Amino acid sequence: MFDAASAYQNLRQRFREVSWLKSSSAILGWDQETYMPSGASDFRADQLSFLDGQAHRLGTAPEIGGWIKACEDHEFPDGSVELTNVKGWRRNYDREVKLPTDFVEELTRATSTGTHLWAEARKKSDFALFQPHLEKLMELQRRKADYWGWQACRYDALLDAYEPGARSAEISALFDEVGPQISALVGPATEKSRQTPEDLLKGHYPVAAQQAFNREVAEAFGFDFGAGRIDATNHPFCTSLGPKDIRLTTRYDEADFLSSLYGVLHECGHGLYEQGLSAEEWLLPAGEAVSLGIHESQSRLWENHVGGSTAFWEHWMPRAVHHFPHLAGLKPEDMAAAARRVSPSFIRVEADEVTYDLHIILRFTLERRIINGELAVKDIPAAWNELFEKLLGLKVPDAARGCLQDIHWSCGLVGYFATYTLGNLNASQLMHRARQDDAGLDAALAAGNYAPLLSWLREKVHRHGQRYLPQDLMRHATGHATQASHHLAHLRSKYL
Amino acid sequence: MFDAASAYQNLRQRFREVSWLKSSSAILGWDQETYMPSGASDFRADQLSFLDGQAHRLGTAPEIGGWIKACEDHEFPDGSVELTNVKGWRRNYDREVKLPTDFVEELTRATSTGTHLWAEARKKSDFALFQPHLEKLMELQRRKADYWGWQACRYDALLDAYEPGARSAEISALFDEVGPQISALVGPATEKSRQTPEDLLKGHYPVAAQQAFNREVAEAFGFDFGAGRIDATNHPFCTSLGPKDIRLTTRYDEADFLSSLYGVLHECGHGLYEQGLSAEEWLLPAGEAVSLGIHESQSRLWENHVGGSTAFWEHWMPRAVHHFPHLAGLKPEDMAAAARRVSPSFIRVEADEVTYDLHIILRFTLERRIINGELAVKDIPAAWNELFEKLLGLKVPDAARGCLQDIHWSCGLVGYFATYTLGNLNASQLMHRARQDDAGLDAALAAGNYAPLLSWLREKVHRHGQRYLPQDLMRHATGHATQASHHLAHLRSKYL
Encode burial over B362-390: b for 16+ CB neighbours within 10 A, e otherwise: bbbbbbbbbbeeebebeebbebbbebbee
**What is the distance between the alpha carbons of residues A210 and B165, in angstroms, rounded to a whole number?**
56
According to the model, what pLDDT value does residue A75 have? Answer: 85
Q: How confident is the model at residue A274 (pLDDT cuts 50, 70, 90)?
A: very high
The model carries a pTM of 0.93
B226 has a pLDDT exceeding 60: yes
ipTM of the complex: 0.92
pLDDT digits (tens, 9 = 90+) for A412-436: 999 999 999 999 999 999 999 999 9
Give the minimum alpha-carbon distance from B226 to chain A in angstroms, rounded to a whole number. 5
Are A38 and B226 an interchain contact pair (Cβ–Cβ within 8 Å)? yes
According to the model, what pLDDT value does residue B2 have? Answer: 66
Q: How confident is the model at residue A1 (pLDDT cuts 50, 70, 90)?
A: low
Q: Across residues A62-87, what is the average pLDDT?
A: 95
B426 has a pLDDT exceeding 60: yes
**What is the distance between the alpha carbons of residues A209 and A205, in angstroms, rounded to a whole number?**
7
Q: Across residues B267-276, what is the average pLDDT?
A: 98
B379: which residues sit within 8 A by CB, 6+ positions away? none
Are A244 and B24 an interchain contact pair (Cβ–Cβ within 8 Å)? no
Q: Which residues of A touch B37 (CB under 8 A)?
A: 225-229, 244-245
A358 has a pLDDT exceeding 70: yes
pLDDT digits (tens, 9 = 90+) for A290-315: 999 999 999 999 999 999 999 999 99
* Candidate from A31, A39, A47 with C-beta closest to B20: A47
Q: How far is CA A428 from CA A69, A424, A431, A434, in A?
A: 40, 6, 5, 10
pLDDT digits (tens, 9 = 90+) for B307-333: 999 999 999 999 999 999 999 999 999
**What is the distance between the alpha carbons of residues A181 and A175, in angstroms, rounded to a whole number?**
10
B52 has a pLDDT exceeding 70: yes
Q: How many CB pairs under 8 A join A and B?
A: 96
Nearest to A454 by CA among A318, A272, A292: A272
Give the minimum alpha-carbon distance from A228 to chain B in angstroms, rounded to a whole number. 6
Q: Across residues B140-168, what is the average pLDDT?
A: 96
The mean pLDDT value of chain B amounts to 96
Are A51 and B20 an interchain contact pair (Cβ–Cβ within 8 Å)? yes
pLDDT digits (tens, 9 = 90+) for B388-419: 999 999 999 999 999 999 999 999 999 999 99
Interface test with B, best of A32, A41, A47, A280 (most B CBs within 10 A): A47
Q: How confident is the model at residue A27 (pLDDT cuts 50, 70, 90)?
A: very high
* Candidate from B27, B225, B243 with C-beta closest to A31: B27
According to the model, what pLDDT value does residue B457 have? Answer: 98
According to the model, what pLDDT value does residue B112 have? Answer: 87
Q: How confident is the model at residue B101 (pLDDT cuts 50, 70, 90)?
A: confident
B1 has a pLDDT exceeding 60: no
Tell me the catalytic residues of B: 267
Q: Which residues of B touch A225 (CB under 8 A)?
A: 37
Q: How confident is the model at residue A2 (pLDDT cuts 50, 70, 90)?
A: low
Phi, psi (degrees; rounded to nearest 5) at A494: -80, -35
Q: Across residues A325-345, what is the average pLDDT?
A: 95
According to the model, what pLDDT value does residue A180 have? Answer: 96
Would you list which residues of chain B are within 8 Å, Cβ to Cβ, of chain A?
Answer: 16-17, 20-21, 23-24, 27-28, 31, 35-40, 42-44, 46-47, 50-51, 54, 224-229, 231, 241-245, 282
